[in-house]
Amino acid sequence: MLITFEGIEGSGKSTQAEHLEANLRQRGLDPLLSREPGGSPLGRELRRILLNSGSTDLTDEAELFLYLADRAQHVAWIISPALRQGRIVIVDRYIDSTVAYQGCGRGVHPEVIPELNRIATRGVYPDLTFVLDVEEQTGLERAKGRNAASGSQEAEGRFEAEALAFHQRVRQEYRRMAAAEPQRIRLLDGSDSADRIQARILEEVEAGLAERTFDAGNFTEGNT
């Protein structure tokens, strides 16, 4: 099962992804938690280039292809092997980030991004996606607070420095995707308390796991 977290910066993705991993681990499962960009060894180099606020000479098209390259490596070397072992894979950002940021934020060929994503992932599609929805201002303030507290080298990265209008486009695109694909995407109010959001996520993941066990059971019965 592939579970992804999406939303603007500071919406609470990493917090929720980490809680989910810890919770599943407590139940005796062995989930894999990863993130994009930077989920593979090559990806970590790409992340440095992508998030370095000095990389301002990167064109929008080059940026798009670097995110896709990061994803292709991540799926081939990290995500697919873990899924083949039957592990639950949790990823902090995945295909929808490219649709929202490059497609809608930057406006680079939004019509072909789903197809480019399909090529980069070899069709590995999320089973469940949580979009954490917060006001742009709230998310950016939270992200700044977090970066200041951790002394992060990525503080004030290229995206956090973008105009508010950029983040508004990204947020609206996430809301549109959630409405367009309700069977996969759950839109959660990211301004709610972290505990309440986590409870809602656990309910959804449990329902997803129960459905899969049921399907697997039916499959076995149908074949015996």
67 binds, among ligand TYD, ligand ADP, none (CB under 5 to 8 A by kind): ligand TYD
Total length of the chain: 224
Minimum distance between the CB of residue 44 and ligand ADP, rounded to whole angstroms? 17
Residue (of 211, 179, 202) closest to 17 by Cα position:
202
Q: Is residue 159 a contact point for ligand TYD (CB under 6 A)?
A: yes
8 A C-beta contact, residue 39 and residue 70:
yes
Minimum distance between the CB of residue 122 and ligand ADP, rounded to whole angstroms? 26
User: 129: which strand partners?
Assistant: 4, 185
Kindly tell me which residue out of 131, 143, 178, 205 binds ligand TYD, with binding defined by CB under 6 A.
143
Q: Is residue 169 a contact point for ligand TYD (CB under 6 A)?
A: no
User: What distance in Å separates the CA atoms of residue 14 and residue 174, rounded to the nearest whole number?
Assistant: 17
Per DSSP, 193 falls in state -
Sign for the CA dihedral angle at 105, 107, 110, 116 comes to negative
DSSP E strand boundaries for the chain: 2-6, 32-35, 89-92, 128-133, 185-189
Q: Is residue 98 a contact point for ligand TYD (CB under 6 A)?
A: yes
159 binds, among ligand TYD, ligand ADP, none (CB under 5 to 8 A by kind): ligand TYD
Q: Is residue 173 a contact point for ligand TYD (CB under 6 A)?
A: no
Interface residue list for ligand ADP (CB under 6 A): 7, 9-15, 142-143, 145-146, 193-194, 197
101 binds, among ligand TYD, ligand ADP, none (CB under 5 to 8 A by kind): ligand TYD
8 A C-beta contact, residue 40 and residue 34:
no
Which residues are at the interface with ligand TYD (CB under 6 A)? 9, 13-14, 36-37, 51, 67, 93, 97-98, 101-102, 143, 159
